[in-house]
Amino acid sequence: MKRGFYTIMSAQFFSSLADNALFVAAVELLRTGGAPEWQRAALVPMFALFYVVLAPFVGAFADALPKGKVMFVSNAIKVAGCLMMLFGSHPLIAYAVVGLGAAAYSPAKYGILTELLPASQLVKANGWIEGLTIASIILGVLFGGQLVGQQLSGLLLGFDFPLIDTGVDTPAEAAIAALIAVYALAAWFNTRIPHTGVEMRPLRADPSRSVLANTLNLLPDFWACNSRLWRDKLGQISLATTTLFWGAGGNLKFIVLAWAAVALGYNTTQASALTGVVAIGTAVGAVVASMRMRLDMATRVIPLGIAMGLLLILMVFISNIWLAIPFLIVLGGLGGYLVVPMNALLQHRGHNLMGAGRSIAVQNFNEQACILGLGAFYSLSLKLGLSVFGAITTFGLVVAGIMWVIRRWHQRNCVNHRDEVNHLLDIARHDTHH
């Protein structure tokens, strides 16, 4: 890999580490503030909100500027969200602002891979960056759990600044303050990301029109890109699969926290460790997929999505930690093995059809809309009186059912994919030859 790839991985690691630790801190902030269970579950869809709302604009923004600069600005927005959470804003609103920064960050993070690396290295690169992202999730949730725990929070709250009243008085607030420094470190790595030399695609602007009018002009372009990817035979199957995977996986981190509290009697610090266990399995699955899978084999992993939904249902019958740990590792491993080849296929098709930033923005729009929808569905289930176990069972049935529909659709239409698959095989042969 080129040296710039490792700088990108470092920036992604620390930014993702802070994102996941902040989720645990926000859950604890709501819990200690007496917020109901459904509000804590709503953190996940609130984080996804701006991914959906701003999807028509962030992809074009990422393609118009050097992607390292885009990532730096995005981390600054995340810091602003942390400050809002510390100084009186409702945690759901402040966490949505952090999600705004993440929405702007994602097209640049993934789009730069297609600028820096050839198609033959995309699956490998995705395997490593997803594996590193999962490692940051593992460490992030563990770090967040320890930050709000009694020992480490006591040390943080013991810091005394002469003549300054910081207003940081609880373990959750101390954790959030500490995470601002982690975002700052990620921003420093952003400044070290090299320019790839790829020509920027400036935003089309009419100087005779207002900024708002020019911004709204991006909407038709975005919807055209979205339609183009859904009409593409391989684009639609990879987009449908990754959309559902991230919709389920995005909500899984809170589902595990809620399940651990009910089934095992765990507090936030203890339950956060189990979220890390799922991430360990996902990291292993991602790395194995990066070594075993090729771009032309990507669609073979679709049945794993059905298995994930069914395993979610089985989780409600587990009440022993020594059974839970290997179960959660297997659950995460299936997801990691599923998402890496499908992600690489989607990036390749999107890059060829419309450009890296725009294609990632389309992907984010669909995936985060699914997180938003499934998260709202899960939160509403709790608000309407379903138990945690009942909500998890319903959630798993929905995921398995939709993935089964995707698989059946692919089986009926796979003959029409022959040209696209042959095209991918030609790419693989071409890259091997060169």
Q: Residue 91: which residues within 8 A CB-CB, separation 6 or more?
A: 26, 29, 30, 33, 35, 43, 85
- pLDDT tens digit sequence for 283-298: 788 778 777 766 566 6
Q: Is 62 exposed, middle or buried (0-12, 13-18, 19+ CB in 10 A)?
A: buried
Compute the average pLDDT of residues 169-173: 85
The C-alpha atoms of residue 104 and residue 1 are separated, in whole angstroms, by 25
The C-alpha atoms of residue 141 and residue 175 are separated, in whole angstroms, by 12
Provide the token pair at 368: 């985060």
SS3 per-residue string spanning 178-227: HHHHHHHHHHHHHCCCCCCCCCCCCCCCCCCCCHHHHHHCHHHHHHHHHH
Tally of CA atoms within 13 A in the half-sphere of 104 that contains its CB: 21
The C-alpha atoms of residue 395 and residue 392 are separated, in whole angstroms, by 5
- pLDDT tens digit sequence for 319-334: 888 999 999 999 888 8
The least confident of 101-110, 158-167, 251-260 is 158-167
Confidence of residue 77 (pLDDT cuts 50, 70, 90): very high
Whole-number pLDDT of residue 433: 45
Tally of CA atoms within 13 A in the half-sphere of 402 that contains its CB: 18
Q: Note whether 289 and 397 are within 8 A (CB).
A: no
Compute the average pLDDT of residues 154-169: 67
Q: Note whether 148 and 172 are within 8 A (CB).
A: yes
- pLDDT tens digit sequence for 99-145: 999 888 877 776 677 677 776 676 677 667 766 777 787 788 888 88
Q: What average pLDDT is seen over the chain?
A: 79
Q: Look at residue 368 and tell me whether its pLDDT is greater than 70.
A: yes
The C-alpha atoms of residue 147 and residue 273 are separated, in whole angstroms, by 13
The least confident of 175-189, 312-326, 362-376 is 362-376
Q: How many CB atoms lie within 10 A of CB 418?
A: 10
Whole-number pLDDT of residue 23: 92
State percent of the chain over pLDDT 90: 11
- pLDDT tens digit sequence for 179-232: 999 999 999 988 887 766 665 555 555 555 554 565 666 677 778 888 888 887
Whole-number pLDDT of residue 95: 93
More confident residue, 111 or 402: 402
More confident residue, 368 or 427: 368
